[in-house]
C-alpha cells in the first residue's frame, strides 16, 4: 500500500512539474504580429455642414511584438501623402494645408503596452496604449482594439478620434463650408503571427 502511495505521489509531482515547465515556457515566449498592407486599411470620416466626407490612407508597413505581462513594441506606419477622399482639390488642400505631408510624410503608431489578454484562438478585446505621431508631433493615446486569431493569422479593428485642430493642425473650413475639427479613424489590420522564445525572462 505504501509503495502504491509513493508511486501515485511521484506521478502527481511529475505531472505538476511538467505543467510548471509548460507555463514557464509559454511565459518566456513572445509573438510577432506581422502586418500585411494588402489585407489592411485606414479609413477616415470628416463631417461638414453639407455632407460627411469619407476617405482612406495607405498603410505602408507594420510589425508588433507581443511579450508577456502586456508588453508591446513595434510600429504601424501610414503614408500621410496617400490621403484620398475622392476629390483631387480637397485632397491637395488636405496634404498641403492640414497634414503638410511633404514635410511630414508619415503617420505612425508605436504601442508600448496593452490591457487585457489576446486569446490564442477566437476574438479578444484589449486596450492598447502608445505614441501616435502625426504632423511631426507625438501624442500619447489609448485605443480599444478588437482582435481575432485563427491559427497563424490575425486581424484587428481599431477606432479612435483625432482632434486635429486641437493638436495644432489647420482646420480647412472656409466662409461657406464648415467642417468638424475632429476626424474619426477606423483602422483594420491583418497578417500573420509567429512565435519565438525569449532569450531572457527578466
- Per DSSP, the three-state class of 86 is coil
179 secondary structure, DSSP code? B
Q: Who has greater pLDDT, 18 or 192?
A: 192
pLDDT of residue 129: 97
Residue pair 166/15 in contact (Cβ under 8 Å)? The answer is no
* Alpha carbons 21 and 27: distance in angstroms, whole number: 10
Instruction: Please give the domain boundaries of the chain with CATH numbers for all domains.
Output: 29-197 (2.40.128.110)
pLDDT of residue 195: 86
- Per DSSP, the three-state class of 65 is strand
Sign of CA dihedral 131, 134, 135, 140: negative
How far are the Cα atoms of 135, 136, 146, 199 from residue 132, in angstroms, in the given order? 10, 10, 18, 29
| Confidence bin at 29 (pLDDT 50/70/90) | low
Candidate from 31-35, 48-52, 53-57 with smallest mean pLDDT: 48-52
pLDDT tens for 146-177 read 999 999 999 999 999 999 999 999 998 875 67
pLDDT of residue 46: 92
Amino acid at each position: 500500500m505504501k509503495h502504491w502511495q509513493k508511486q501515485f505521489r511521484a506521478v502527481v509531482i511529475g505531472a505538476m512539474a511538467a505543467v510548471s515547465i509548460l507555463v514557464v515556457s509559454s511565459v518566456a515566449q513572445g509573438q510577432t504580429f506581422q502586418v500585411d498592407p494588402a489585407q489592411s486599411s485606414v479609413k477616415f470620416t470628416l463631417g461638414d455642414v453639407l455632407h460627411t466626407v469619407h476617405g482612406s490612407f495607405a498603410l505602408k508597413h507594420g510589425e508588433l511584438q507581443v511579450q508577456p505581462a502586456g508588453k508591446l513594441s513595434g510600429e504601424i506606419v501610414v503614408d500621410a501623402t496617400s490621403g484620398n477622399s475622392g476629390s483631387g482639390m480637397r485632397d491637395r488642400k488636405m496634404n498641403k494645408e492640414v497634414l503638410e505631408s511633404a514635410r511630414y510624410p508619415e503617420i505612425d503608431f508605436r504601442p508600448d503596452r496593452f490591457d487585457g489578454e489576446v486569446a490564442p484562438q477566437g476574438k479578444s478585446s484589449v486596450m492598447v496604449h502608445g505614441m501616435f505621431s502625426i504632423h511631426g508631433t507625438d501624442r500619447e493615446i489609448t485605443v480599444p482594439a478588437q482582435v481575432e486569431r485563427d491559427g497563424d493569422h490575425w486581424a484587428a479593428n481599431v477606432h479612435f478620434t483625432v482632434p486635429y485642430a486641437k493638436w495644432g493642425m489647420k482646420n480647412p473650413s472656409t466662409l461657406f463650408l464648415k467642417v468638424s475639427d475632429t476626424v474619426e479613424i477606423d483602422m483594420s489590420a491583418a497578417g500573420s503571427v509567429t512565435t519565438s522564445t525569449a532569450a531572457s525572462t527578466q
